Structure 1
Amino acid sequence: MAEPVEPITLPPAKDADQEGRWLQASLHQWLDQEFIPEAVNHEIAERASRVFVRHRLEGENDVGSLVIAIVTEMQCFDFSQSFFGEFAVANAVSELLLDSLGIDRCCGQ
Structure 2
Amino acid sequence: MTQPIPPITLPPPQDPMLEGKWLQQRLHQWLDEEFIPEAINQTIAERAGQIFVRQRMEGENDLGSLVIAIVTEMQSFDFSKSFYGEFAIANAVSDLLLESLGIDKCCGQ
The TM-score normalised by the length of structure 2 is: 0.98
1:19 pairs with 2:28:
no
1:40 pairs with 2:55:
no
Alpha-carbon distance in 2 for matches of 1:12, 1:80: 35
Structure 1 residues 1-109: aligned runs within 5 Å: 1-109=1-109
Root-mean-square deviation (CA), in Å?
Answer: 0.6
**Structure 1 stretches of 5 or more lacking a match?**
none
- CA deviation map 1:46-69 (0-9, x unaligned): 000000000000000000000000
* Equivalent residue letter for 1:2: T
* Equivalent residue letter for 2:3: E
CA shift at 1:108, angstroms?
2.4
Matched residue SS, 1:108? coil
**Structure 2 stretches of 5 or more lacking a match?**
none
Taking only the aligned residue pairs, the percentage that are identical comes to: 73
* Equivalent residue letter for 1:44: I
The TM-score normalised by the length of structure 1 is: 0.98
| Aligned pairs, number | 109
